């Protein structure tokens, strides 16, 4: 055989080999590559959507957190205002109660003072009557005694 026939035979075999590969081997490989490429692009798209969803969730979380903080601050302000109101009410009640106690104590002191004065007057009148009786050796009647007491009370 000569080189030309070998070369033609090799070219024919090569063309047959390429045709068989082109017909039976390349389509499944190309289909697998396209399927793989589609899966990768779908995965990247899903990852992008998940990333966007994560960003939206973060924004929603921050918004809810800010709202919760503002509500907590409002609740604290209300609680502080209520506490101040309770303290003010308790203070005013305590002031009123203190005034009542002071008035009651003042009345009690005044009553005790009047009672002590009356007892002192009675004791003074008894001492004066005893002294006068001793001086005069004359007993004073109850009517005279009452008249003297009334007159002494008017003078004081």
- The 10s digit of each residue's pLDDT in 55-72 is 999 999 999 999 999 999
| Burial degree of 49 (CB within 10 A; 0-12, 13-18, 19+) | exposed
**Distance set, CA 84 to CA 80, 103, 107 (Å):** 6, 28, 34
Residue 96 DSSP symbol: H
Residues 90 and 101: beta-carbon distance below 8 Å: no
* pTM, rounded to two decimals: 0.43
Total of domains in the chain? 1
| Residue 46 vs residue 123, higher pLDDT | 46
Interior CA angle at 73 toward 71 and 75, to 5°? 70
For 81, the domain range is 3-155
For residue range 112-154, what is the model confidence (pLDDT) as tens digits? 898 888 888 888 877 777 777 666 655 667 777 777 777 777 7
Share of the chain above pLDDT 70, in %: 91
Report the run of H or E that residue 129 belongs to, with start and end. helix 26-136
Tell whether the model's pLDDT for residue 77 goes beyond 70: yes
């Amino acid at each position: 055989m000569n080189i030309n026939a070998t070369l033609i035979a090799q070219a024919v075999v090569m063309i047959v080999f390429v045709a068989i590969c082109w017909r039976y081997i390349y389509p499944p490989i190309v289909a697998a590559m396209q399927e793989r490429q589609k899966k990768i692009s779908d995965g990247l798209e899903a990852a992008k959507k998940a990333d966007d969803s994560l960003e939206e969730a973060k924004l929603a979380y921050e918004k809810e957190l800010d709202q919760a903080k503002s509500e907590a601050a409002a609740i604290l302000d209300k609680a502080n205002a209520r506490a101040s109101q309770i303290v003010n009410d308790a203070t005013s009640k305590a002031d009123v109660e203190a005034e009542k106690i002071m008035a009651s104590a003042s009345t009690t002191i005044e009553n005790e003072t009047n009672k002590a004065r009356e007892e002192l007057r009675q004791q003074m009148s008894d001492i004066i009557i005893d002294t006068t009786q001793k001086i005069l050796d004359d007993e004073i009647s109850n009517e005279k005694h009452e008249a003297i007491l009334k007159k002494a009370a008017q003078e004081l």
